[in-house]
Structure 1
Amino acid sequence: MAVIAAFVVNAALNLVLGLLIAQILGPANFGRFALGTAGAVVLNILLFEWLRLSATRFYSARVREAEPWIRAMLDRAYAATAIGLTGAAVLALAGTPVLGEPALLAAAAAGTAVGIGLFDYQAALARARFVGGLYLRLVLVKNGLALVMMVSAAWATADAAAVMLAGGLSQFLAAVIVHRALSDPPRPHAAGRRRESLRLFMAYGLPVVAANVVYQLMPFANRSAVAAVAGFAESGYFSLAADIGGRIFGTLGAALDLLLFQIAVLAAETHGHEAGEEQVARNGAVVLALILPSAAGFWAVAPALDALVVPAAYRGHFVDYTLLLLPGLVALAVMNFALNPIFQIRRRTLPLVAAGLVGALVNLVGALALAGPFGPHGIAAAQSLGFLAAMLFLGIRGLTGPNRLRMPWRDPLAVVLATAAMTVAIVPLRGLDPWLALPACVIVGGFVYGALVWRFDIAGLRAAMVARFGRAVPA
């Protein structure tokens, strides 16, 4: 329950923080901030992600006691990478008098990536050991620091680089604060064991990193293209819709992944590979059961959100870009949290790279074809097409053929039908006054979808609720 609480807090505060930063900075500076942040995310994935993935896949409470060299290698690799990236940030900062704003944003991106990487590492260790209370504390500290430091930096400086650095520093400080609670006692082990671990981590994680770098380079390139074609203000409109949607589905998927993938790893470790794959199949159904209705609900309430909570300078643009970007954001979440685990549990992650390349190619062709007649909106549509193509490719690889994941098709079909029924129920409510449309869509949609899930036990959610809370839970 602590992990779920952390998810709710993280989602709410991230949404509030994004809107506050957008309001204070304005479209043009927010466009710069979003572009620099996208660069920081790319750096984090490129340099740290393979280690975070290795922590979630190979570290556990059992490994902590029986294989101490795993943690030792993770710690050393993280420290070396963080020191090297900090040096790169200092060099970029030194070049600011000559290169100007690009060098300043690059330095801020490198510094921010260090903070993101260390925070994600501590979070991965907490989830690998199933210490939900500590994970909740980590998220609360990070969000509290980020809210104070980033908003203060935006208010005082109105500078995109300063806000980025404040965000990175907040994550770094949160990681430092909980570091002692997550540390392992030193245990003697042979140095050769660490080298073996490093080879294992690289073979497992680098293909996933390559795919994720491609997935992050696509939005980065698209935001850059929008800024080049229509200016930083238009890039800010694009970025706000992408960031809010990405945070909603990314945070929702990550909250599920925090529990579900670790359960699959535990099943494989305890009962064998087949048990792990069976759990991954069940996990995929749960991810779909929550991602698809959330997407339909977000589409329904987007006009109300635009009128009620989006800063005035972005209104209208937010809805336009959200509708174009939403299919791609959903496809990316399904890939990351339902399809990728198929290959991760098997330790065969090369298909993820192929899917990323397919997506990037479709994105590029789509942008070249659509940017001319439709401008920045064509670039947004091309991004969605790229993510959808990658999802389809990965789905075909994982769910068809002799080595396919054995997933019962009843649950995915039931999710689609229940989401369709929910959408039909809430479509008429979109035209209400925004103050009425927002709660009406949430209440009616939640009731319709929840009733269908309960009646037909879609994705086993009713059984899970009964097992967790007992039969006193009302329908």
Structure 2
Amino acid sequence: MAVIAAFVVNAVLNLALGLLIAQILGPADFGRFALGTAGAVALNTLLFEWLRLSATRFYSARVREAEPWIRAMLDRAYAVTALGLAGAALLAFAGRPLAGEPALLAAAAAAAAIGLGLFDYGAALARARFVGGLYLRLVLIKNALSLVLMVGTAWVTADAAAVMLAGGLSQFLAALLVRRAFADPPVAHEAARRREALRLFMGYGLPIVAANVVYQLMPFANRSAVAAAAGFAEAGYFSLAADIGGRIFSTLGAALDLLLFQIAVLAAETHGHEAGEAQVARNGAVVLALILPSAAGFWAVAPALEAIAVPEAYRGHFVHYTLLLLPGLVALALMNFALNPVFQIRRRTLPLVAAGGVGALVNLVGALALSGPFGPSGIAAAQSLGFLAAMLFLAFRALTGPDRLALPWRDLAAVVLATSAMTAALLPVRGLTPWLALPACVALGGLVYAALVWRFDIAGLRAAVTARLGRAVPAE
């Protein structure tokens, strides 16, 4: 429960932080900030993600005691990568007199990626060991530091690069403050075993990284194209909708993935490969049961959210871009948290690279075809088409052939029907005044969907809740 609580807190504070930064910086500087942040995320994915993925797949409480060279390899690889990235940041900063603002944003992105990578590493270690309390503490410290440092820096400097540096620093300091809790006892081991671990990590993680880099570069390229075609202010409008929607779905999916994928790994480790795959299939139904109604609810409340919470300078643009980007954001979340685990549990991750290539190609063709007649809106639509194409390709690979995954089709159909019923119930209240529409949609949608889930035990959620409550109630 501590992990779920951490993600709820993280989602709410990230949403509030994004809106505050957007309000203080304004559309043009927020566009620069969003572009630089996308670069930092891409760098983090390219350089650190394969190690984080290896930590969640190969590190555990058992491994901590029995195979200490795995953690030693992770620590060394992180340290070397961080030092190299720090050197790149200094070189980019030194080139500022010649390259100007792009060099400054590049330096800030590289520095921010170091903090992001270290924070994600700490989170992955807590996840792998099922230490929910430690994870909650890490998230709370990070969010407190981010709120103070990033908002304060934005207020004082109004500079996108400085705010990015403050964000990276907040994550770096959060990981540093809890480093002792993550420490493993020192155990002697052979260096050769660290090399074996490195080869294992690279073979497993690099294909996933290649796909994720593509998925990070697609929004980065699209934001750059919008900025080039229509200016940084338009890129700011695009980015705010993409960032808020992306954070909502990535946070929801990751909250489940933190628990579900580790359960699948444990099932494969203790009961064999078939048990692991069966658990991944059940996990996929649970992910869909959360992501799909959340998407419908976000669509319903977007106009009210814009009127109440979105800074005035972005109004009118937020809902427009949200509706265009929403299908792609949902597809990306389903790929990351429902389909990717199929190939991760099998340790055959090359299909993820092919899916990324399909998505990038469709995004490029769509942007070239749609940007002319529709401008930045066409670029947003092309991004959604790219993510949808990648998801469909990966689903085809997972659900066909001799090794196809056996999905719980009854649960998947029930999720679609329950979400449709919830959406129909929201239509009459969506058009109310914003201050009435927002709570009415949240309450009514949650009530209708929860009632259907409970009545029909969709994705086994009712059984999971009653089992959890049964353990929480002491016997008399």
* Matched residue type, 1:29: D
Q: Does 1:252 align with 2:252?
A: yes
**Change over 3 Å in CA distance of 1:101–1:471 after alignment to 2:** closer
- What do the CA deviations read for 1:149-176 (whole angstroms, capped 9, x no partner)? 0000000000000000000000000010
Per the alignment, residue 392 of structure 1 pairs with 392
SS of structure 2 residue aligned to 1:432: coil
SS of structure 2 residue aligned to 1:185: coil
- What do the CA deviations read for 1:37-96 (whole angstroms, capped 9, x no partner)? 000000000000000000000000000000000000000000000000000000100111
* Matched residue type, 1:464: A
- What do the CA deviations read for 1:343-384 (whole angstroms, capped 9, x no partner)? 000000000000000000000000000000000000000000
SS of structure 2 residue aligned to 1:470: helix
Per the alignment, residue 307 of structure 1 pairs with 307
Write the distance in 2 (CA, Å) between the matches of 1:417 and 1:45.
36
Q: Does 1:26 align with 2:26?
A: yes
- Which aligned pairs between 1:97-246 and structure 2 lie closer than 5 A? 97-246=97-246
Write the distance in 2 (CA, Å) between the matches of 1:21 and 1:414.
40
Task: Please report how far the alpha carbon of residue 271 of structure 1 lies from its aligned counterpart in structure 2 after TM superposition.
Answer: 1.2
Task: Please report how far the alpha carbon of residue 472 of structure 1 lies from its aligned counterpart in structure 2 after TM superposition.
Answer: 11
Write the distance in 2 (CA, Å) between the matches of 1:419 and 1:401.
30
Write the distance in 1 (CA, Å) between the matches of 2:313 and 2:157.
20
* Matched residue type, 1:32: R
Q: Does 1:14 align with 2:14?
A: yes
Where structure 2 has 5 or more consecutive residues not aligned to the other structure, the ranges are: none
Per the alignment, residue 4 of structure 1 pairs with 4
Task: Please report how far the alpha carbon of residue 471 of structure 1 lies from its aligned counterpart in structure 2 after TM superposition.
Answer: 10
Identity of aligned residues (%): 85
**Change over 3 Å in CA distance of 1:223–1:206 after alignment to 2:** same
**In angstroms, what is the RMSD of aligned CA positions?**
0.9
**Change over 3 Å in CA distance of 1:256–1:471 after alignment to 2:** closer
Per the alignment, residue 87 of structure 1 pairs with 87
- Which aligned pairs between 1:411-450 and structure 2 lie closer than 5 A? 411-450=411-450
Task: Please report how far the alpha carbon of residue 451 of structure 1 lies from its aligned counterpart in structure 2 after TM superposition.
Answer: 0.5
Per the alignment, residue 35 of structure 2 pairs with 35
Write the distance in 2 (CA, Å) between the matches of 1:159 and 1:111.
15
Corresponding residue pairs, total: 473
SS of structure 2 residue aligned to 1:460: helix
Task: Please report how far the alpha carbon of residue 470 of structure 1 lies from its aligned counterpart in structure 2 after TM superposition.
Answer: 2.8
- What do the CA deviations read for 1:196-243 (whole angstroms, capped 9, x no partner)? 000000000000000000000000000000000000000000000000
**Change over 3 Å in CA distance of 1:125–1:231 after alignment to 2:** same
- Which aligned pairs between 1:368-387 and structure 2 lie closer than 5 A? 368-387=368-387
> Which segments of structure 1 move beyond 4 Å, counting only runs of 4 or more?
none
Q: Does 1:262 align with 2:262?
A: yes
State the TM-score, normalized to the length of structure 1.
0.99
Write the distance in 2 (CA, Å) between the matches of 1:270 and 1:153.
49
* Matched residue type, 1:143: N
**Change over 3 Å in CA distance of 1:417–1:471 after alignment to 2:** farther
SS of structure 2 residue aligned to 1:269: helix
Write the distance in 1 (CA, Å) between the matches of 2:465 and 2:256.
15
Per the alignment, residue 72 of structure 2 pairs with 72
- What do the CA deviations read for 1:435-466 (whole angstroms, capped 9, x no partner)? 00001001111111000000000000000000
Write the distance in 1 (CA, Å) between the matches of 2:277 and 2:52.
21
Write the distance in 2 (CA, Å) between the matches of 1:69 and 1:405.
33
Per the alignment, residue 287 of structure 2 pairs with 287
SS of structure 1 residue aligned to 2:423: helix
**Which deviates the most, 401-410 or 63-72?**
401-410
SS of structure 1 residue aligned to 2:178: helix
